Amino acid sequence: RLVFLVYMFDIEAIGELLRHPHRILITTHQNPDADAMGSSLGLAGYLRQKGHSVLVITPTDYPQNLAWMPGNDEVLAFDEKQRTQVEALIAEADTIFCLDFSALDRIRDLGPMVRQARARKVMIDHHLEPENFADLAYWDTKAAATAQLIFKLIEQLGDGALIDADVAACLYAGLMTDTGSFRHSNTTPEVHRIAAALLERGIDVSQIHRLIFDGVSLDKLRLLGYILNEKLRVLPQYKFAYITLSVDELRRFRSRTGDTEGIVNYALSVEGVVAAAILIDRGEEIRLSFRSVGDFSVRDLVHTHFNGGGHKNAAGGRSRLSLADTEAKLLTILPEYQTELAGV
Ligand code: 5GP
Ligand code: MN
């Protein structure tokens, strides 16, 4: 198997670019998670202190449990009604930061707008699947989180002192969630050193954890109960477990953005299971979310069969087949991986 690591650090050029105040847009991937929002708002807070005019635009809305982050009031979540306004903002920006994604098909309708924009584009990311649309990059596929890269970039630009408690809270949220609360294999000594540095800025880690993980709606808990009782399928011969969710089921539990986040981890937590998936019918397409432990690469599986990517132990993709046909396809490809799964 081809294993390639990518890194690119255009620090001096990024510093040069930021020397004079100008109009900066920050965008991140669709259905933003805590790393997407945390790295975007952390960078925005820093750049505002440097005198830039900064706006964060997300391609879709994002879950309520991320709305506490400092700077949230200045986020514009794209929807069709603001198309003209957003097109103008993107066309007029001097610099566009693209955070936590590395291919423009991850930002939906914003993709073509960003591609055509005259702005200098800076990608800061830790995913594979490079598309080379950016002029500059701060990119490391070994980083646990984009928030980690934002922290390092600010420090390397000589501005570590500008990481105040607000910026630190945003970055900590991204670092904490992308490492699964500091338990995934991407939790390196550097991750803990950065977490420690963020704590020294006076953040309340217990409060951040509660804001993100507690305050779960009753609807979401009931959906989880239903899934665990009736929808979780375990295939011991493949050490694999998966869940499917139809449009109808999502409607029945009044599911909102983010309500299905993290549910795949319950499938992965089943005794003996080394890889897991959740297949969700989003109407226009089926979204697939994969997780694994150890050396089994769900990124390779998704990349080969489900039009997506991500990381070795966490990847996502999509399918244009029906939910039933996507499930059938998954079941036909599993034997291909049986030997590899057995070895984990
Ligand atoms: P999730 O399953 O939480 O949506 O995503 C897991 C990981 O895979 C994340 O790092 C996410 O950015 C990445 N990912 C999810 N969907 C896609 C996709 O369609 N394409 C690519 N390239 N990466 C994805
Ligand atoms: Mn991330």
Whether 61 is in the pocket of ligand 1, judged by its Cβ within 6 Å, is no
Same domain, yes or no, for 209 and 222? no
Are 197 and 151 in contact by the 8 Å Cβ rule? The answer is yes
Are 228 and 194 in contact by the 8 Å Cβ rule? The answer is no
Note down the domain range covering 127.
7-213
Residue 1 lies in a domain: no
Residue 2 lies in a domain: no
* Confidence check: pLDDT of 1 > 50: no
Same domain, yes or no, for 95 and 226? no
Whether 32 is in the pocket of ligand 1, judged by its Cβ within 6 Å, is no
Query: Distance between alpha carbon 290 and the CA centroid of its chain, in Å?
Result: 13
Are 67 and 38 in contact by the 8 Å Cβ rule? The answer is no
Ion ligand 2, residue ranges at CB < 5 A: 35, 100, 146, 178
| C-alpha span between 177 and 153 (Å, rounded) | 20
Task: Dump the DSSP string for 269-335.
Answer: TSTT--EEEEEEE-SSSEEEEEEE-TT--HHHHHHHHSS-EE-SSEEEEEESS-HHHHHHHHHHHGG
Same domain, yes or no, for 128 and 104? yes
Q: What is the mean pLDDT of residues 247-273?
A: 95
Whether 317 is in the pocket of ligand 1, judged by its Cβ within 6 Å, is yes
- 175 by DSSP, 3-state: which? helix
Closest CA to 195 of 215, 214, 178, 213: 178
Same domain, yes or no, for 199 and 248? no
Same domain, yes or no, for 271 and 204? no
State residue 258's pLDDT score.
83
State residue 4's pLDDT score.
56
Q: How many CA atoms lie within 13 A of 10 on its CB side?
A: 16
Shortest-distance Cα residue to atom 11 of ligand 1:
310
Same domain, yes or no, for 129 and 236? no
Q: What is the mean pLDDT of residues 272-291?
A: 97
**pLDDT tens digits along 92-105:** 999 999 999 999 99
* Confidence check: pLDDT of 3 > 60: no
Same domain, yes or no, for 170 and 228? no
- 261 by DSSP, 3-state: which? coil
What's the total number of domains in the chain? 2
Q: What is the mean pLDDT of residues 16-26?
A: 97
Q: What is the mean pLDDT of residues 206-220?
A: 94
Shortest-distance Cα residue to atom 2 of ligand 1:
289
Burial of 70 (0-12, 13-18, 19+ CB in 10 A): middle
Same domain, yes or no, for 205 and 280? no
- Measured from the alpha carbon of residue 130, the closest ligand is 1
Closest CA to 71 of 93, 101, 102, 49: 49
Q: Ligand 1 pocket test: pick from 40, 66, 104, 127 the residue with the most ligand atoms within 8 Å of its Cβ.
A: 127
Count CB-CB contacts under 10 A for residue 256: 14
Q: What is the pTM of this model?
A: 0.91
Closest CA to 182 of 169, 196, 168: 196
Instruction: Pick the last residue of a domain from 213, 231, 250.
Output: 213
Whether 258 is in the pocket of ligand 1, judged by its Cβ within 6 Å, is no
Whether 63 is in the pocket of ligand 1, judged by its Cβ within 6 Å, is no
- Measured from the alpha carbon of residue 286, the closest ligand is 1
Whether 174 is in the pocket of ligand 1, judged by its Cβ within 6 Å, is no
Whether 314 is in the pocket of ligand 1, judged by its Cβ within 6 Å, is yes
Mean pLDDT of all residues belonging to the chain: 96
Instruction: Pick the last residue of a domain from 186, 213, 240.
Output: 213
**pLDDT tens digits along 65-111:** 999 999 999 999 999 999 999 999 999 999 999 999 999 999 999 99
CATH number at residue 256: 3.10.310.30
**pLDDT tens digits along 135-190:** 999 999 999 999 999 999 999 999 999 999 999 999 999 999 999 999 999 999 99
